[in-house]
Structure 1
Amino acid sequence: MDRRPPLPALSANLLWGRAVVLATVGLGTGTVSHLAGGGRLPGPAAMMLLLAAGVPLATLFLRRRVGRTALVLLVATGQTLTHGLLAALAGHRGDATATGPVVLPRRRCRRAAGDGAAACTTSTRPPSRRRPVPAPATAAGGRTSCST
């Protein structure tokens, strides 16, 4: 049976102060470990959002008095979450990057000189690299119009 007197409730200032310190230490150590592992950092706005999200989250765990072991576990959890979020947001040096923008095929048409028929190409490359494909003749005089 515990014979210690009950602990007084934490004041709001003390609670939020402890939460700011815990979130700052978790974010700081997570950032240092991320950078030590070859990581990149997102912009300052994203870092501030991570801190702003960490403070209210820390208050959930600090409403009661916590011991040293629980505090060390909270800092280690904050560090791990920070490193994971930074890896998802900014990645690491040497990560595979996209080779270029996604290019969707499109149909290009131009009028051939002389007979007035349209020549269409379907390509993801610039039209100068592909030969034009003659458009099929239609019942309306052999002329076609291409749509994109």
Structure 2
Amino acid sequence: MPNEQRLKRGVLAAACLAFLPAATGCGGPPPESGGAREASDVTVVAPARIEVIASLTGCEAEIRVEADELREGVCRTAEGDYLITTFPAEEYKLTWLDTASVYGGRYLVGPRWAITAKPELLEGLRKKVGGTVRDLGASRGTAPGTPSPSS
């Protein structure tokens, strides 16, 4: 069965990667333009959604936050719990990371997303979804949004 799950994840990842080029720039021209879009007007699709990242890590995320600035989902696995946070724009992620730096800790970060987990989980997750492990300084408490056993 593990090979079947790995195959499913690979197919899902390939489908997502194949879909991205076709999905970019699918919106129509802005109403005020009155015509065709310039190449610089192409809207880029967000690199990932919580559901895609969760699937690649082998879980089905429970969405905890749906807001204009971010979406947050918790994954509960045998290896441990972790949060996947996605952002509509890179600026929101940078602001979130700046705020998280007050707490310190390590985070797995990709384009418009971040994963909050115990440090020992981050490398395994990085191998599944990519990204970069960022150290935001010495840990001075619980990182924002870290799932607790009771949440």
TM-score (norm 1): 0.23
Where relative contact order (Cα < 8 A, 6+ residues apart) is larger, the structure is 1
TM-score (norm 2): 0.23
Identify, as 1 or 2, the structure richer in helix. Answer: 1
Between structure 1 and structure 2, the one with the greater Rg is 1
Identify, as 1 or 2, the structure richer in strand. Answer: 2
